[in-house]
Amino acid sequence: MYVAVKGGERAISAAHAWLEETRRGDPAVPELTIAQIEQQMPLAVDRVMAEGSCHDRFLAALAIKQAKGDLIEAAFLLRAYRTTLPRFGASEPLDTTRMRLRRRISATYKDLPGGQVLGPTFDYTHRLLDFALAAEGEDRAVAPEMPAPAAEVPRVTELLAREGLMQREALAEEEPGDLTRQPLAFPAERPVRLQNLARGDEGFLLALGYSTQRGYGNAHPFVGEIRVGHVTVEFTPPELGFPIELGEIGITECQMVNQFKGSRTEPAQFTRGYGLVFGHGERRAMAMSLVDRGLRARELGEDITAPAQDEEFVLYHSDNIEATGFVEHLKLPHYVDFQSELENLRSIRRTAEAALPEAAE
Amino acid sequence: MTMLTAGFADPVLDAQACFRAVLEAMSRPGRIQRAGSALTPPAPLNQAAAAVLLALADADTPLWLDAGAEAEAWLRFHCGAPVAAAAGAAAFALATAAPPALAALDQGTEEEPQRGATLVLQVEALEEGEGWHLTGPGIEREHRLRVTGAPAGFVAAWAANRAGLPCGVDVILCAGDRLAALPRSVMIAEG
Amino acid sequence: MSPMTPADTEERRHWMAVLARASADEIAGLLASLPSLPAPERLRAPETGLVMVRGRAGGDGGPFNLGEMTVTRCSVRLGEAVGHAYVAGRDKRQAELAALLDAALQDPARRAALMEGVIAPLAAGQQAARDAEARKAAATRVDFFAMQTTR
């Protein structure tokens, strides 16, 4: 029960002013620009775009500045902003085989068409703090270049599918459900699950994905392929009637290959878990693909024994904007609620104390 | 493409002004509001109907209309609303001639009555103070509204629509740059 | 104006794609050195909204909604031609310039000069940036040659 209480305006206004002062920090230190955040904290920007479910690098960087670096708060700001904009429609589905790749690796094949391209990765770094970065005016690193062959880069899943060893995806072209228009309903179809996971909290997805590797869900995953790069977005305006290119966005895709023991209707084969996220978000895409595969247990007729296979548990708790709202609402005044709990507890105590002397007799 | 004319000069403020006019009209059924006076929509669209659809219809609201190819192209361009093949599948139905039966439009459901369709009905003229007797929520005693060019049998069909409350269809009557609303809760007696 | 043929549509898709990737300053800078275009009539003022980006399950399966992106659109009329722009991001000036050019490029009398003076240099700059990134990616391509010979 909530009761409106008046008062506190002066205190709130002072708290906001102090928040603003602490956001800026020591005025002797130069202020961060949005461009600096966008350019020099690109992975934070990518995470906010993914969890804010809105691709706009400038807005995500602005949100990070306003939120003092609290990325969940920043995603919240971005989600709130997007509700003020009209929607023009939906894009053509992205064609990730036509990505402009920065990175493309496979853990299942050493030699594969298109090769292993490492890209700008933290892998193989020593995780030693680099104190050179603490010095101002660092030398600008220059990435080396080599002639780029114009090679086809086929999907690893397609190579397996051609041999009949990888389950083909259903080629349904029906209109996918949209969580921003229709609330979650169960059982949730795969398009809705993927949308939910794509904007889910990275920490939650990571922990669940990890749990499937540690025996909660019986997964034996291999990274078939990870792709990081840019993809063209096409949209068909109704007044034109043909698709046009809106520009490019950065994305990360992960194809996780998992064994499937087969069923009465299907032979033993590989199945895939799929991850696709805005920006460069490799950990996020990998975790998403593990959880996606976990959630396919129902359609593949597997036993549902683990949290990552329980779609209600996963989909209802993945959204960090909803989660933070409900957890943080606990700090709102519950004075009346609590009074009734207190009264209840006192009355139980009184009843128990009144009964005690009789019991002693 | 035919000669496409402009929509609202200021999409945000003009749409808000029209929204306000529709809100007033819905809150006080039978009272006449103005909307779209500055628009030059293609025939047979009138200014009020054009303004209402510019303000309310968008990519999330399927639109059914009987206004011909030019008006359809204009509305598709400015609203971005998908055109519904059947009136029953539309969130907004625009009738410039005999409208589809009210019962043939989306009535909404008991759980989601707000999904009931809105019929934007072009008529010849609207006049306050005479004609129909309107009573119901938003009306202290009664409002009078004369609708010239209302479809035959409309009042009887309205009674059936009213009986389905909270489900049913809302109607916005448009003549020139004048509009009046009939929310599904209003009762109409012929006068 | 005669109806667009498939080849016209393909050419129009090309210039719209190039303009969608160009900044307002880049477009305006190139336009400045050409004879100025007449002022267009605004059919739809620049407006920022969202497009829901769709992916495919497993990369090649059924579509799903990945998340939205900001898009700015604008439509103008120049004589008989209606020019449209839908560009990623929130730059209204870019959208308006792109719509103006889309209208002007539909006029055969203007097309050649605008393709040469605006679209071609923008496209070349965009291709050069893509090529530079591809060369950096190529430098991080793993060469397993040594392992194969010592096996």
A191 and A78 in a single domain? The answer is: no
Kindly state whether residues A25 and A159 are assigned to the same domain: no
* pLDDT at residue B153 tops 80: yes
The closest CB to that of B11, out of C47, C77, C82, belongs to C47
Q: Which chains touch B (3 or more CB pairs under 8 A)?
A: A, C
A337 occurs within a structural domain? no
pLDDT digit string, tens, across residues B109-149: 999 999 999 999 999 999 999 999 999 999 999 999 999 99
Residue C110, min C-alpha distance to chain A (Å)? 21
Query: For the segment A55-70, what is each residue's pLDDT rounded down to a tens digit?
Result: 999 999 999 999 999 9
Mean pLDDT of B72-100: 93
Chain A residues near residue C139 by CB distance under 8 angstroms: 143-146
In a domain, A355, yes or no: no
CB contact under 8 A, C82 and B1: yes
CA torsion angle B125 B129 B134 B139 (round to 10): 120
Identify any residues that bridge with A225 across adjacent strands, giving them in sequence order: A255
Same domain, yes or no: A265 and A203:
yes
Does the residue A359 lie in any domain? Answer: no
Phi and psi at C148, nearest 5°, equal: -65, -35
Three-state SS sequence of A304-315: CCCHHHCHHHHH
Q: What tokens were used for C40?
A: 């267009």
Q: Residue C57 is which amino acid?
A: A
Residue B15 contacts A where some CB pair is shorter than 8 Å? no
CB C97 within 8 A of CB C91: no
Instruction: For residue A211, tell me if it sits in a domain.
Output: yes
**How close C66 comes to chain B (CA, Å)?**
18
| Strand arrangement, sheet containing B92-95 | B33-34, B178-182, B170-175, B118-122, B92-95, B63-65
Instruction: Tally helices (H) and strands (E) across chain B.
Output: 4, 9
The pLDDT score that the predictor gives to residue A266 is: 79
pLDDT at A140: 78
Test A194 with C88 for CB contact under 8 angstroms. no
State the pairing for strand pair C41-56/B187-189: unpaired
Nearest chain B residue to A240, by CA:
B77
Cβ-based neighbours of A139, under 8 Å, separated by 6 or more: none
Q: In whole numbers, what is the pLDDT of chain A averaged over residues?
A: 92
Judged by DSSP in three states, B121 sits in strand
In the predicted model, is pLDDT for residue B191 greater than 80? no
Q: Per-residue confidence at A358, pLDDT binned at 50, 70, 90?
A: low
Same domain, A247 and A300: yes
User: Do A189 and A314 fall within a single domain?
Assistant: yes
Q: Which CATH number, 3.40.50.700, 3.40.50.11310, 3.90.1300.10, 3.40.50.300, labels domain B11-189?
A: 3.40.50.11310
Q: Is the pLDDT of residue A90 over 70?
A: yes
pLDDT at B30 over 90: yes
Does A102 lie in the same domain as A54?
A: no
A276 vs A282: CA distance, rounded Å:
9
Q: What's the DSSP call for residue B59?
A: T
CA distance B157 to chain C (A): 39
A306 located within any domain: yes
Q: What are phi and psi of A48, to 5 degrees?
A: -65, -40
Half-sphere exposure of C47 (CA within 13 A, CB side): 26
Q: Which residue of B has its CA nearest to C76?
A: B6
Contact C46, C92 (CB under 8 A): yes
Centre a 10 Å sphere on the Cβ of residue A251 and count the other Cβ atoms it contains.
27
Q: Is B6 an 8 Å CB contact of chain C?
A: yes
> Which one-letter amino acid corresponds to residue A153?
V
Residue A351 lies in a domain: no
> Chain B within 8 Å of A89 (Cβ-Cβ)?
yes
Which residue bears the tokens 């361009």?
Answer: B77
Alpha carbon distance C32, B29 (integer Å): 56
Question: Is A54 in the same domain as A203?
Answer: no
For residue B1, what pLDDT is reported?
45
Mutate to test the interface with A, among B3, B63, B72, B77 (most CBs of A within 10 A): B77
* Distance (Å) from the alpha carbon of A89 to chain B's nearest alpha carbon: 6
The count of domains in chain A is 2
A39 vs C100: CA distance, rounded Å = 31
Which of B59, B60, B77 comes nearest A239 by C-beta? B77
Q: Is residue A215 part of a domain?
A: yes
Mean pLDDT, rounded, for A258-278: 88
Domain, as residue range, for A312: 96-120+154-166+182-320
Q: How far is C140 from chain A (nearest CA, A)?
A: 5
What type of residue sits at position C129? A
**pLDDT score of A4:** 62
Between residues C144 and B34, which one has the greater pLDDT? Answer: B34
Give pLDDT, residue C73. Answer: 96
B76 close to A (CB below 8 A): yes
Mean per-residue pLDDT, A162-173: 86
Q: Same domain, yes or no, for A206 and A312?
A: yes
**Interior CA angle at A112 toward A107 and A116, to 5°?**
60
Query: Is residue A353 one of the residues assigned to a domain?
Result: no
* β-strands B118-122, B170-175 pairing: parallel
pLDDT band at A131 (very low <50, low <70, confident <90, very high): confident
How many other β-carbons are positioned within 10 Å of the β-carbon of residue A123?
Answer: 9
pTM: 0.88
Question: Where a domain ends, among A54, A82, A110?
Answer: A82
Q: Does A149 touch chain B (CB under 8 A)?
A: no
- State how far the Cα of B190 lies from the Cα of C1, in Å rounded to an integer: 53
Checking if the pLDDT of A361 tops 60, the result is no
Low-confidence stretches of chain C (pLDDT < 70) are: 1-4, 145-151
Interface with A, mutate which of C12, C47, C52 (most A CBs under 10 A): C52
Closest alpha carbon within chain A to B74: A239
The helix (run of H) or strand (run of E) holding residue B70 is helix B68-79
Q: What is the mean pLDDT of residues A135-147?
A: 82
Model pLDDT for residues A283-293, shown as the tens digit of each residue: 999 999 999 99
CA angle B74, B80, B82 (to 5 degrees): 100
Mean pLDDT of all residues in chain B? 94
A310-353 confidence digits (pLDDT tens): 999 999 999 999 999 999 999 988 888 999 999 999 999 999 99
